[in-house]
Amino acid sequence: MIQEDNIMNVKLTDKLKDKLGIMLLVAMMAVAITGCEEEGPAEQAGEKIDNAMEDTGDAIEEAGDNVEEAADEAQSDY
C-alpha cells in the first residue's frame, strides 16, 4: 500500500510540474507581449536613424535625377 501511495504522489507531482510549466510559459509570453508594445529610447532613436537614412537616400536619388536631367539638357543644346 505504501508503494501505491508513492506512485500516486509522483504522478501528482508530474501533473503539478506540467501545470506550473504551462503557467510559467503563459506568464512569460504575457510579459514579452507587453514589453513589445512600448517603445523605449533605443527603439525611438533607431526609428529616427532609419527615417534619416531613408530621407538621405531619397535626397541623393533626387539629386542624381537632377544631374541626369541637366546632362540631357546640356547634350540637347549641342
Domain hosting 77: range is 40-78
> What mean pLDDT comes out for the span 50-72?
92
User: 14 and 25, same structural domain?
Assistant: yes
Dump pLDDT digits (tens) for 6-43. 555 556 677 888 888 899 999 988 887 776 667 788 88
User: 62 and 49, same structural domain?
Assistant: yes
Q: Residue 72 pLDDT > 90, yes or no? A: no
CA torsion angle for 10, 14, 20, 23 (degrees, to 10)?
Answer: -150
The answer to whether the beta carbons of residues 75 and 67 sit under 8 Å apart is: no
Q: Which three cell numbers stand for residue 52?
A: 534619416
User: 44 and 31, same structural domain?
Assistant: no
Give Cβ neighbours of residue 39 (< 8 Å, ≥ 6 apart): 47
> What mean pLDDT comes out for the span 48-54?
95
User: 61 and 71, same structural domain?
Assistant: yes
Structural domains of the chain, count: 2
pLDDT at residue number 50: 94
Entry pTM: 0.47
Q: Residue 2 pLDDT > 70, yes or no? A: no
Q: Comparing C-alpha atoms, which of 18, 40, 39, 21 is closest to residue 29?
A: 21
